[in-house]
Structure 1
Amino acid sequence: MRLLLAFLLVLGLGFASPAQASTGGDYGSPGPYATAVDIGAITTLYYPRDIAQSPRKHPVIIWGNGTFAFPVVYRELLLHWASHGFIVAAANTPQSNLGISMRLGIDLLAQRNSDPASVFYNHVDLDRIGASGHSQGGAAAIVVGADPRVDTILPIQPGPLADIDAVHGPAFLMAGQWDSIVWPALVKAFYNDADHIPAIYGEVRGADHLTVVGDPGPFAAPTTAWFRFQLMDDMVARAQFYGPSCGICTDSSTWSSVRRNAQVPTS
């Protein structure tokens, strides 16, 4: 059954505020925000529960599912991001490769942000948007990376039906060491082709194609750190990826391989 689900998933393949910076670098633990879920016809929103009383605007992450999967499959990861202050707009479609429903998530939040009757009114940071997804949804994250509204992408074990040449923002491409559905070599091919943008390849030690499903385990901390760096200007998180130390570059217990291209700042 596990192998069957894996096959189906890939088929068709500003400065941070003090509250946002309060994790102390522990990105694998829940953040400071209680969370809520709003299930709509096209998009499911995961967000800080008390957002209506928040003194700040919150960045956005749009999400694409693997083939025949729905946001509930990735609920723990999406809630984890929401607990760190992000609004996650997860496309409800099990066929996300074109990225259409992911883009509709941005449109929905733009409408909610301008609606005085919405809890999101004036609390959505539409200038800070990231895209992520798993398997086919990982490919979709690359597809929507061409959208000028999307600042950064984080494809998780992305399927092959995408062209990273059109992506304009930094990319963190994640593979699983033992993934037999989306082989690490396929993710490396995207990384090798992304020589026009800052790009990082990270291969999670011991991970297979379904490790991120349910309890996201080793995927929770680095994905959160990436988005906190890119969308919240978290400098502690930046040191995990950029600069001379590069925390993930020296963490052999979590990563079986890490590569950074020439566009990644080393200072």
Structure 2
Amino acid sequence: MKLPILAATLAALVLPSAVVAREPAPPLYQAVMESDPSLPTHTVYRPADLAAVGATKLPILAWANGACANEGDAFAKFLTEIAGHGYLVVAIGPIVGPKPPTAGPPQRPDMNAPPKTTSSQLIDAIDWAVAENARSDSRYKGRLDVKKIAVMGMSCGGLQAIEASADPRVTTTGVWNSGVLGTGTGGLPGANVTKASLKALHGPAIYVSGDASDIAFGNANDDFARIDHIPVVRAYEDGVGHGGTYGQPRGGAFGEVAVAWLNWQLKGDKAGRAMFVGPDCRLCARPGWHVERKGLK
């Protein structure tokens, strides 16, 4: 066989893997991260040109950081990716500024330290967005879908998301690298949740983590096993630890999964649904990913 033909044959053999690993759909809009004077305790991510969004209303995501940290830019790549797909994201904490290149997202809080943030700040984020949507001189006047609200968080922030999800306005919950601790008889500083708190979840939920090396792996599995009253997904990726993929370009694989879930739950997107539903769901078929589901339709 001639070498050019051999090369073409080999390329054809590896093509299916290349298709599986293809880049996710690009964001619809360029997104910005900013401080808003009317909410100095939080950081806002949004499409840069709100006029370009047109009549489409932006669903709302309230985000809580790892370690319950008061750093609104700690997950900037991940949250910018989400905002670029047509969301208003309100993260707990102000913009702190550049960090060392080796710094990852905040990890675990000091169990004996006072809380840096609280779950109530997720409610503050929702309250602010709803008010801005109604305020006559707001840039967000009539642009937000206040009936489509997600609450998500990573690690300690995931516990804050669970606690805040008792709010009846919450449509869906995302728990990233997190789960209620141990037997769930007590929470962490800043997140007062127990296993009984899971019963207050009233919309579809997704738990995403790293593999067994992730300190939250067992807690996430236990939460998933206990939840039997709402649709829920449990997914994790081999070779990923507690730090997730948030710091990778566009938030890495976790960014893609988050966008798909939000697009499905808050926009009714069929492609987002296909990531999670069916025996051959796209995430199920992705090498290195493990997916369990309950109650999905």
**Deviation (angstroms), 1:97:** 7.2
> Which residue does 1:80 correspond to in 2?
81
Which deviates the most, 118-127 or 33-42? Answer: 33-42
C-alpha distance 119-245 of structure 1, shift in aligned 2 (>3 A): same
**Separation of aligned partners in 1, 2:256 and 2:245:** 12
C-alpha distance 218-226 of structure 1, shift in aligned 2 (>3 A): same
In the TM superposition, what whole-angstrom CA distance separates every residue of 1:29-48 from its partner, at most 9, and x where no partner exists? 43111112231422211011
Task: Output the amino acid matched with 1:221.
Answer: E
Matching of residue 211 in structure 1 with residue 244 in structure 2: yes
2:70–2:92 Cα contact (<8 Å) kept? no
Give 1:230-245 correspondences, 5 Å limit. 230-245=265-280
**Deviation (angstroms), 1:245:** 3.0
Query: Which of these two proteins has the greater Rg computed from alpha carbons?
Result: 2
1:165–1:193 Cα contact (<8 Å) kept? no
From 17, 34, 38, give the equivalent of 1:38.
34
Task: Output the amino acid matched with 1:260.
Answer: R
C-alpha distance 202-96 of structure 1, shift in aligned 2 (>3 A): farther
- Secondary structure class of the residue paired with 2:257: helix
> Which residue does 2:255 correspond to in 1?
220
From 134, 139, 142, give the equivalent of 2:154.
134
Off by >3 Å, runs of 4+ in structure 1: 26-30, 93-98
**Deviation (angstroms), 1:185:** 1.4
> Which residue does 1:166 correspond to in 2?
200
In the TM superposition, what whole-angstrom CA distance separates every residue of 1:27-86 from its partner, at most 9, and x where no partner exists? 834311111223142221101111245222110011001113512110001000010001
**Separation of aligned partners in 2, 1:165 and 1:227:** 22
**Separation of aligned partners in 2, 1:179 and 1:117:** 49
> Which residue does 2:177 correspond to in 1?
157
Matching of residue 123 in structure 1 with residue 128 in structure 2: no
- Let me know the Cα RMSD of the aligned residues: 2.0
**Deviation (angstroms), 1:178:** 4.5
**Separation of aligned partners in 1, 2:124 and 2:158:** 17
1:138–1:158 Cα contact (<8 Å) kept? yes
Give 1:43-54 correspondences, 5 Å limit. 43-52=42-51, 54=54
> Which residue does 2:72 correspond to in 1?
71
Q: Which has the higher contact order (CA 8 A, sep 6+)?
A: 1
- Secondary structure class of the residue paired with 1:248: coil
**Separation of aligned partners in 2, 1:201 and 1:140:** 18
> Which residue does 1:201 correspond to in 2?
234
**Separation of aligned partners in 1, 2:284 and 2:51:** 39
**Separation of aligned partners in 2, 1:81 and 1:166:** 26
1:115–1:121 Cα contact (<8 Å) kept? yes
2:174–2:205 Cα contact (<8 Å) kept? yes
**Separation of aligned partners in 2, 1:104 and 1:217:** 28
C-alpha distance 169-129 of structure 1, shift in aligned 2 (>3 A): same
Instruction: Return 5+ residue gaps in structure 1 as ranges.
Output: 1-25
1:205–1:254 Cα contact (<8 Å) kept? yes
Task: Output the amino acid matched with 1:229.
Answer: W
Give 1:181-196 correspondences, 5 Å limit. 181-182=215-216, 184-196=217-229
C-alpha distance 131-203 of structure 1, shift in aligned 2 (>3 A): same
Task: Output the amino acid matched with 2:50.
Answer: I
Identity of aligned residues (%): 29
**Deviation (angstroms), 1:244:** 4.0
TM-score for both structures, normalised by structure 2: 0.74
**Separation of aligned partners in 2, 1:248 and 1:241:** 6
